[in-house]
Chains A and B, each alone.
Chain A
Amino acid sequence: MLPNKPIKETAMQSLSNRKKIIEQKPMNFWERMYLPAIAKGLGITIRHFFKKIPTVKYPEETRPYSKNFRGQHSLKRDEQGRERCTACGLCALSCPAEAITMTAAERKKGEEMLYREEKYASVYEINMLRCIFCGLCEEACPKEAIYLDGPHVTADYLRKDFIYGKDKLVEPTFDITKLIQDKTS
Chain B
Amino acid sequence: MIDLQGVAKSFDGTEAISPLDLPIRPRATTVLIGPSGCGKSTLLRLMIGLLTPSQGKVLFDGQPMSASALAGIRRRIGYVIQDGGLFPHLTARENACLMAQHLGWPEARQVERLDELADLTQFPLDGFNRYPVQLSGGQRQRVALIRALMLDPELLLMDEPLGALDPMIRHALQDDLRDIFRALNKTVVMVTHDMHEAAFFADHIVLMRDGTVVQQGTLEDLLDRPADPFVSAFINAQRQELGP
Our verdict on whether A and B bind, yes or no, reads no
B residues bordering A, Cβ < 8 Å?
none
